[in-house]
Structure 1
């Protein structure tokens, strides 16, 4: 495990350290020293191995438990759920198009990108907590896995997030999460998603090369920053290229 990297990150703050501990532990559970283990070592031993405090280890394990990768059982220890660990496309976690497509062994890229302003109608204004008629930037693109269209994406960002900057001079072709952080200084911390079956309109069906009668999975999401303010509405149409899972924790 990359102990020196973890130790050097201690200057960046507890949240960053625990995030890196989580990433390292997941890597070790999947392909490293714990790949055949049904439970993790005790907190004190993990802290010594990684050169971090037990508080950091405790925070990391709490995050892993919330995500369903482990369960901490009194008198037994930290038990690994390998079925959850091996899931690659979970709807209950942050979905980024490119890493998701790579996990299926394909090359992700986008085409047909359209960026233009619109005026918010009643519904969109309500979603984004802005006034009807306020300007919103609409970003549409088709995402492909190799040469196969797999996602039709539509994102709506309040123009005010750009603080008067000329959005036409900004590269809006990459990850929308990266764009929000880099250009608008907004970090998405949560979202509310509605799942629906959708046939899409004729333009979408043509772009996605759908067979007659073939439907898509539509994720209609409103994304919130760390201050619990909505900063984006996103419509993502997924084809049956994907096999999604949802973890439901009952305790």
Structure 2
């Protein structure tokens, strides 16, 4: 399996992460060596080492000096917890509130260069772009911007119901299941529109969650940029330690 030159470490990470979550590498088992992985993917050992260091920092694997790399025995437990974190309706429910979703906008547009790269589609390919407001007991708490490759949809775009959870949109309208997500979390000053919709001052920082969703086959399914009101909701993450 030779990986293409674009974002080598990122692509190797996606494949290894999928293998860890799917059980291809059994919990507690020893993984292939750096040399074996480098040969399989057609990349340098330095690239493999970078990826393994990141997976180890996330608690998915354990690196033992002189003994190799092992799959964390609790990796499946971590997966079960993390699967629900970016289901925002579920997150709102877990905080003790009743969730609702309001569609702010839905349109078809061309992908930007960054979006094309992240979604592995041609530059300028068509996307479905949706902006949605998640509420907890009627109070706005999350502003979600999502984009999906238009080619994934198996139903007319007019039939895509943005008031559903993202996993249901992907499952029913694209006939895929979300297997895992890669997330970046930042504190940021919200844009004026985001602050207004979330009923927050533009001077108050919010959490910005950038999420990429993938299928079990490592197909990029969607991207998300989400402003999160952590004054109302608690965001609890679990990381497995040895």
With the shorter chain as reference, the TM-score category is 0.5 to 0.7
- Contact 2:84–2:91 (CA<8 Å) still a contact in 1? no
Partner of 1:185: 175
TM-aligned CA distance change 1:104 to 1:246, over 3 Å: closer
Root mean square deviation, CA, Å: 2.5
SS of the residue 2:179 aligns to: strand
* 1:202 and 2:192 matched: yes
Contact 1:152 1:204 in 2 (8 A): yes
Q: Is residue 2:110 matched to residue 1:95?
A: no
Question: What's 2:75 paired with?
Answer: 66
How far is the alpha carbon of 1:243 from its aligned partner?
1.9
Task: Give the alignment's TM-score, normalised by structure 2.
Answer: 0.64
CA distance in 1, matches of 2:134, 2:204: 18
Task: Select the structure with the greater relative contact order (CA < 8 A; seq sep ≥ 6).
Answer: 2
Counterparts of 1:31-70 in structure 2 under 5 Å?
65-66=74-75
CA offset at residue 118 of structure 1? 1.1
Identify the match of residue 170 of structure 1 among 157, 160, 181. Answer: 160
From the superposition, tell whether residues 176 and 63 of structure 1 become closer, same or farther in structure 2 (CA, over 3 Å).
Answer: farther
Distance (Å, rounded) in 2 between the aligned partners of 1:148 and 1:64: 40
Give 1:244's aligned residue: 235
- SS of the aligned residue for 1:188 comes to coil
Q: Which residue of 2 aligns with 1:230?
A: 220
Picking from 89, 100, 113, the partner of 1:109 is 100
**Does the aligned pair in 2 maintain the 1:113–1:173 contact within 8 Å?**
no
Q: Helix, strand or coil for the counterpart of 1:211? A: coil
Q: TM-score, normalization: structure 1?
A: 0.62
Q: Which has the larger radius of gyration?
A: 1
User: CA contact under 8 A between 1:119 and 1:135: conserved in structure 2?
Assistant: yes
In 2: Cα distance, 1:238 partner to 1:202 partner:
14
Q: Say if 2:131 is the partner of 1:122.
A: no
Distance 2:204 2:146 in 1: 23
CA separation of 1:116/1:64 partners in 2, compared to 1, >3 Å: closer, same or farther? farther
1:147 and 2:156 correspond: no
How many residues of Structure 1 are paired with residues of Structure 2 in the alignment?
170
